[in-house]
Structure 1
Amino acid sequence: MHEITENIALSPKQLQAITLLSTGTSVGDTAKELDVNPCTLNRWGHQTEFKKHLRQVSTANLRHQLMRFHEVLDIGVTRLLAIIKEPQTESKDVIRIVKLALDSTGNFEYLDMHEQLAEIRQKLDEE
C-alpha cells in the first residue's frame, strides 16, 4: 500500500481518506473509520488537490498489485509446468491443469483438450 508522504495542502484526515479509498475501502467504511460524514468525503472528492492525490496513490497501489499478481502468476505457471513434466503425472491430471488454466482465461471453449494434451506432451518431450 502506498501512502502520501510529501507535504501537501490536505488535512491529515484527507490524507487518511486517500489512503483508505485508494485501497478499495468504500466511502461509507472510510467515513466510519475517520468519523466523518460520507457527504464530507464526497465534497473532498470534488476538490482538485484531493482528486489528484487520490489518483496518484490509487495508480501506485494498482501498479504494485499488478506487479504482485504477475509474480504470483509466474510462480503458479512454473509449478504447474513442473507437475506436467513429471513422468508420473497422469494425462487426466494434465488435462485438469490445462483446463483450469484455460478456464481462468476464458479460452477453454475454443480448444479440443485431447489435441492440446498431445501437443503439450510432444513439446515437453522435445525439451
Structure 2
Amino acid sequence: MTRFEADTSRERRKLFADAVVAHRNRGSAFLTIEADRDPDLDGEDAPGPWVQFSDKTFNMDVTDEELDRLKDLLSSFPEFRIDQLESPEEAEGTNVRITARSDANRLAGFADEVFQAVYGRAEDYRAWVVAI
C-alpha cells in the first residue's frame, strides 16, 4: 500500500477524508478516486469505476441499474441530493452530479459506500486517490 491507495474500509475512508481536506486546502479543481477494475463487474476491457468530487459536488457515471442503487443509497444520506442527470445519446449510461454539503468524514463514507453499494465492489476492494 502507498499513501494514495487503501484496501480496507477504515483505511479507504481515512484516505478519502484526507483527500477531501487536501482538495479543499489546495483549492484544486477536483479530486478523483478510482477502484480496482473487476472484469466480472466492469466487462473485459472497461476501466474500473471512478468518483470525482469538486467543491460540494460528486460526479460519477452509472448504468441504469447502478443509478437505481445510487438512489437507494442516497436515502441513507438525506443531506445529499441529485442535482443533474445527463444521458447523451452516444453514451451507454448516465452522468450524475450530487450536491453533498458535509464534513470530510461523511463525504469519505459516501464515496466508500458508492463503490460497494452502487458499483458492486467487495468489502476489501482497493481504491486509489489519483488526482487531488
TM range (shorter): under 0.3
Question: Higher Cα Rg: structure 1 or 2?
Answer: 1
Question: What TM-score does the superposition give when structure 2 sets the normalisation length?
Answer: 0.25
User: What TM-score do you get using the length of structure 1 for normalisation?
Assistant: 0.26
- Higher helix proportion: 1
Q: Which has the higher contact order (CA 8 A, sep 6+)?
A: 2
